[in-house]
A = this chain, B = another copy of it.
Amino acid sequence: MIMKYLFTNDYSEGAHPRILEALARTNMRQEIGYERDSFCLEAERLILARVGNPAAAVHFVHSGGMANLVALASMLTRAYESVIAADTAHIHVHEGGAIEALGHKITLVAGLGGKITAEAIRAVMDKHLPDEHMVLPKAVSLAHATEVGTIYSLAELEAIAAVCREFGLYLFVDGARMGTALVAEGADITLRDLGRLTDIFTVGGTKNGALLGEAMVVNNPALREHFRRHIRQRAAHVAKGRIIGIQFAELFADDLYFDLARHSTSLAQRLRTGIARLGYKFFSRSPSNMSFPILPNAVIEQLQAAYGVYVWRGVSAEASVARLLTSWATPVSAIEQLLHDLEKLS
């Protein structure tokens, strides 16, 4: 077998051709730097039109990890404040201690299918508020889609937003994979809902067809003031900020952003249906572009000879959770080949 396709990630290729064309088309136009150029302003306008909140601000940073860092840096002000997150959260597990390096604790709650609940937030607050020897949570951070591909329902997000308001907590939604979360089967949250319910949310470009870039939508006026100083301090600025603005302007000029997400999500659905047909179960009920089949270790190993497959975790001595991602660039043929090969191995 030769290597056929990497399902390891949704950022294994470059950018959608329209994005490369836009970069080439605008290349020699002189612009000011640091995401204040006319392309970034246009991208902001296009995104806010969909969010439905013209008073919000949009800022652009180069990566999802940076968007998380800047958002939480802006929310956690008093030194003793913490952020509530699920124990599977990327900011807790896989960002190298970036939040703690800000000086703030992550107050963990047990995730339910990767999701945090309003009840868990309330329980944390009831415990921490009266005890001055503890940190005091000031923000809630969740990912939509989550790290295990699940998505929140509108009812769940409304409940979380309500408990946040009750306790004066900021609500941050990490949308590194926002595209797939918005178009997945059963999804009932819209950009307008996020504009209405969150203090900051992000719209990821890197994992949905851009070379790089995340849009940060800052809804809460209290956070907008001097927000760019946080970007500066975290070294998040891209001098030629135009390169992110151009990409987002292209992605939101029409429905490109959503079309790309539909492509990756529908292919993942097709993959899951095929895998289920072979009798395998799944670690999480993901409707997004991330699939988590539980496969025999021997099968995974044989697959890995020809495909990029990430092992999420073991479940027994003989089986593990595999993680398979599809992207805007994944060809249908790659799905069919994988299912074909998997069937032979099963």
Interface residues of A (CB under 8 A from B): 5-6, 8-9, 11-15, 17, 20, 23-24, 26-33, 62-66, 68-69, 73-74, 77-80, 82, 93-98, 100-105, 131-136, 206-207, 211-212, 226, 228-230, 232-240, 242-243, 308, 329
Closest 5 CB pairs of A and B: A14-B27, A96-B232, A77-B77, A96-B233, A65-B235
Find out whether the CB atom of B64 lies under 8 angstroms from the CB atom of A239: yes
| Contacting residues, chain B, for A17 (C-beta < 8 A) | 27
- Minimum CB–CB distance from A209 to chain B (whole Å) comes to 11
Chain B residues contacting A236 (CB-CB under 8 Å) are 66, 235
Of all chain B residues, the one with the shortest Cβ separation from A228 is B132
- Residues from chain B with a CB closer than 8 A to the CB of A136 are 226, 229
B residues less than 8 Å from A65 (CB atoms): 232, 235, 237
Most B CB contacts (10 A, CB to CB) among A26, A78, A308, A329 go to A78
Closest to A64 in B: B239
Q: A96 contacts which of B29, B80, B238 (Cβ < 8 Å)?
A: B80
A95 and B27: CB pair below 8 A? no
Whether the pair B229, A132 counts as a contact (CB closer than 8 A) is: yes
A28 touches B243 (CB 8 A): no
In whole angstroms, what is the CA distance A78 to B226 when docked?
9
Please report the C-alpha to C-alpha distance between residue A176 and residue B93 in the assembled complex, in whole angstroms. Answer: 31
Which B residues touch A32, using CB under 8 A? Answer: 6, 8-9, 12, 308
Interchain Cβ contacts under 8 Å between A and B, 21 examples? A6-B30, A11-B33, A12-B32, A13-B29, A14-B26, A20-B20, A24-B24, A30-B308, A66-B236, A73-B79, A77-B78, A78-B226, A78-B230, A82-B97, A95-B235, A96-B233, A100-B105, A132-B228, A135-B229, A212-B238, A234-B234
Q: Contacting A15 at CB < 8 Å: which of B27, B96, B228?
A: B27
Please give, as numbers and ranges, the residues of chain B lying within 8 Å of A9 by CB-CB distance.
32-33, 239
- A233 lies within 8 A of B80 (CB): yes
- Nearest B residue to A65 via CB reads B235
Q: Which of B29, B62, B134, B233 contacts A101 (CB 8 A)?
A: B233
Contact between chains at A100 and B98 (CB < 8 Å): no
Instruction: Assess whether B232 is in contact with A133, with CB atoms less than 8 Å apart.
Output: yes
